[in-house]
Amino acid sequence: MDDPQSITNLEKRMAWEQARETVPGDFPALPPLPAGRYTSDLFFELEQKFLWSKVWLYAAHDSQLPDPGDFVLLDIPGKAVFLVRGRDGRVRAFYNVCSHRGAPLVREPCGKENRLRCTYHQWTYDLDGRLLAVMDERDFPQPFDKSTLGLQEVRCEAWGRWLFINEDANATPLREWLGMIATEFDQFGIDTLRPAAIRSYTLECNWKLTMDAFLEVYHIKGIHPKTVGASLDHRGAVMGLLPNGHTRMTCPTRMTQAEAGRSRGYNAGDSTQMPSIPLGHIAANYHVSHNVFPNLITPTSDSARQFLMFWPLSRTRTRVDVVHHGRDWGDGERPAGWEALLAFWDVVMQEDLQFLEWQQKAVLSPGFKGYRLSYMERRIYYAHESIDRTMGVENIPEDLRAVPVLDAFRERPEDFAADPLERVSAG
């Protein structure tokens, strides 16, 4: 994506999007999304069963558990899972479920243990999950085979320093599943990053309705006129619909990232404020944001990369976690520029979240006649199609499905190399 040909092609695409007067001729009308996707108990239960148990989910940054014995208890709704670094340096994920009667092995958000001990009846496990000791072992039927009673492991794989988990033992390996995204991220300096701040927001709104708000830039003139709306030119946005449900947006900007940062009170180029993240040409000159399927949206700039994650607490309740990553600043407190950056983000997030609880009430109302999406909002429709594909369309009642119409508009790796205007209508 950052070779000269790809840059030229992407810039041509943005110019074409800015200049077009209508929707590309072969682009389909997107069917209204059924309100039940955001409101029904059944759809929520289907997601629990067929989506969240099969996908890679962001868990932690490996700097959160630097040494053997360090653990992190994950706060992913419905998942009783923790991470622990073994004596061999490897981070493993386990269900936080004692093999005796299910009491937890760890109860603190993070910490360090030499062994994992269930304090209920004191069964003790090694850091690699093996059951080492059982109190009063004589009371269990003999012979008692401890080797079959270790902790249940969950898959945990790394993308750079980011750790993801997947409960599906048969899932595609993380890097392979990320595909083009993993390659593209090589230009973003991701190994230089570390978490600098985490903000969480809980709202009475379905998780998809919440995430939809971050998958388009159609809204920026309406709700962000003085913040991101001042720097982005949404009419030139290029939306990449990628394999496995991932997407990418590349959007022209009206000011450089340094100018935008300065206008907000921080400057990644000024070493007294914050060290800047090394970026390739596209990321340095345009606004790039990816959606890592299903629930992670990650915009980047020269000052910070955010992970916005949308976690369903119930059918109509969502927690949005925003992890702000910055370039590693070494020892000591995070650099001064972060306060202004976080203050700016607080404003932007309030702008983004302001209508969502209203919209949730709307989709629950008989006055709501369907969720209508434009060409500009096609990443939302693609995310919904991808959710259904992952869950298995046959598992979803017909009246709750997002009818697939965007298959032909999925981006292919060769699209960057070919003249983009030959296939410009395709996504």
Q: Catalog residues that contact ligand FES under the rule CB under 6 A.
A: 98, 100-103, 118, 120-123
CB neighbours of residue 133 within 10 Å? 13
Q: Where are the alpha helices (DSSP H) in 128-188?
A: 174-178, 180-184
Select 118 or 174, whichever has its Cβ closest to ligand FES: 118
359/204 Cα distance (integer angstroms): 10
Dist CA 93 CA 85 (whole Å): 9
Residue 140 contacts which entry, ligand FES, Fe ion, none (Cβ below 5-8 A, type-dependent)? none
Q: Which is nearer to Fe ion, 64 or 303 (CB)?
A: 303
Residues 129-168 that bind Fe ion (CB under 5 A): none
Instruction: Give 56 or 344: the residue with its C-beta nearer to Fe ion.
Output: 344
Q: Which does 342 bind (CB under 5 to 8 A by kind): Fe ion, ligand FES, none?
A: none
Q: Considering the complex, state which of residue 103 and residue 347 has its C-beta at the smaller distance from ligand FES.
A: 103
Q: Which is nearer to Fe ion, 62 or 352 (CB)?
A: 352
Contact 166, 155 (CB under 8 A): yes
131 binds, among Fe ion, ligand FES, none (CB under 5 to 8 A by kind): none
Instruction: Give the H/E segment covering residue 124.
Output: strand 124-125
- Interacting residue with Fe ion among 352, 377, 385, 415 (CB under 5 A): 352
Tell me the site size for Fe ion, rule CB under 5 A: 1
Residue with tokens 């830039």: 217
Look-up of token digits 């345009």: 286
The interface with Fe ion within residues 301-320 (CB under 5 A) comprises: none
With CB cut-offs between 5 and 8 Å by kind, which of ligand FES, Fe ion, none does residue 352 bind?
Fe ion
Task: Specify the stretch interacting with Fe ion by CB under 5 A; choose among 15-23, 186-194, 344-352, 354-362.
Answer: 344-352
Report d(CA 103, CA 97) in Å as an integer.
6
| Least spacing, CB of residue 301 vs Fe ion, in Å | 15
Query: Whole-number minimum distance, CB 87 to ligand FES, in Å?
Result: 22
CB of 313 to Fe ion, least distance (A): 22
CB of 306 to Fe ion, least distance (A): 12
Q: Which does 120 bind (CB under 5 to 8 A by kind): ligand FES, Fe ion, none?
A: ligand FES
Helices 378-391 & 41-50, crossing angle to 10 degrees?
70
Instruction: Please choose, from the candidates 167, 200, 207, the residue with its C-alpha nearest in 3D space to the C-alpha of residue 313.
Output: 207
CB of 221 to ligand FES, least distance (A): 56
Six-digit token pair at 365? 């109302």
| Strand stretches in 126-176, DSSP E | 131-133, 153-159, 162-166
Compute the C-alpha angle 323/327/329, nearest 5°.
110
Cα(308)–Cα(325) distance, integer angstroms: 11
Rule CB under 5 A: is residue 377 a binding residue for Fe ion? no
Cβ distance to Fe ion smaller for residue 167 or 352: 352
* Nearer Cβ to ligand FES (4/141): 141
Report the residue number, 61 or 248, with the smaller CB distance to Fe ion.
Answer: 248
- Nearest CA-CA partner of 238 in 228, 247, 226, 229: 247
Q: Which of 174, 171, 183, 153 is nearest to 90 (CA)?
A: 153
DSSP state of 416: T
What is the C-alpha separation between 158 and 299, in angstroms, rounded? 20
Could you tell me the smallest distance in angstroms from the CB atom of residue 98 to ligand FES? Answer: 3
- Please choose which of ligand FES, Fe ion, none residue 103 contacts, taking the beta carbon within 5 to 8 angstroms, the exact cut-off set by kind: ligand FES
Q: Which residue ranges make up the site for Fe ion (CB under 5 A)? A: 352
